[in-house]
Amino acid sequence: MKVAVGPDPSLVYRPDVDPEVAKDKGRFRNFTSGPLLDRVFATYKQMHTQQTVDFVRKKHTQFGGFSYKKMTVLEAVDMLDGLVDESDPDVDFPNSFHAFQTAEGIRKAHPDKDWFHLVGLLHDLGKVLVLAGEPQWAVVGDTFPVGCRPQASVVFCDSTFQDNPDLQDPRYSTELGMYQPHCGLENVLMCWGHDEYMYQMMKFNKFSLPPEVGEGRGQGLGASSQGTVPPLCGHAAALLPGPHRQVLPWCAELVTSLARCPRGLCMHT
């Protein structure tokens, strides 16, 4: 795949968008209006209905052996040429652009943290599961813990969880649900998707990150759709021991980096 340097290449996919308008960051992550809203809402509705404790455990069993395919990072990025994320309200072009755009945005903001540049490049590679036949609602979108009541910071929280059977189960429908206070992030069962798949794949391959990242499990842990830092979707104060909370600022910074250059490739030289 050739990566263009220069003008925003996403305009090839959206020729009607004026470059100056595209720079208005206040328009990004808009889950209340926009031409893609119906598609985005339908994806989250399916996700928030189907993502249950039982479903997530089955997916861990199905994909936990990591036998789908062996490939390099750049081969995985190239695969994302064939994926348009149906949960993203901002973009309607291949996800491979987003991988480079995020890495370059982080490199510009944090030139001394090469590990963070790599996180930006890798953060969405788990979406190759869609190309393996998984439905998008089981792969894309913001993450949240299952096994407890969803918090208000979850996208479309007030209008998409009504048909989730876990919310009718007293074991899973309270604020902490099946968890004990301060149980630790490693004991939290996140919804299944590209973030959790990548986290588990990195553990399987003994991939390591610096201590300040700790148990990083995708930007959904530490940041809401607005880029703020509600605690673990509202749960960190209750679920995370003090040392584990060091990951939250980096999760928030990743979300901030995603918003800095959310369309096309902002190449930093």
- Cβ-in-10-Å burial (0-12, 13-18, 19+) of 167 comes to middle
The phi, psi pair for 153, rounded to 5°, reads -75, -15
Contact by Cβ (8 Å): 94, 257: no
Q: Is 117 annotated as a binding residue?
A: no
Q: Is 98 annotated as a binding residue?
A: yes
- B/e letters for 89-128, b = 16+ CB within 10 Å, e = fewer, are bbbebbbbbbbbbbbbbbbbbeeebeebbbbbbbbbbbbb
Q: Is 244 annotated as a binding residue?
A: no
Q: Which of 225, 85, 231, 218 is nearest to 155 (CA)?
A: 225
Q: Is 123 annotated as a binding residue?
A: yes
For the record, the structure tokens of 129 come out as 């599961």
Binding-site annotation: residue ranges for Fe cation: 98, 123-124, 194
Binding site as annotated, residues: 98, 123-124, 194
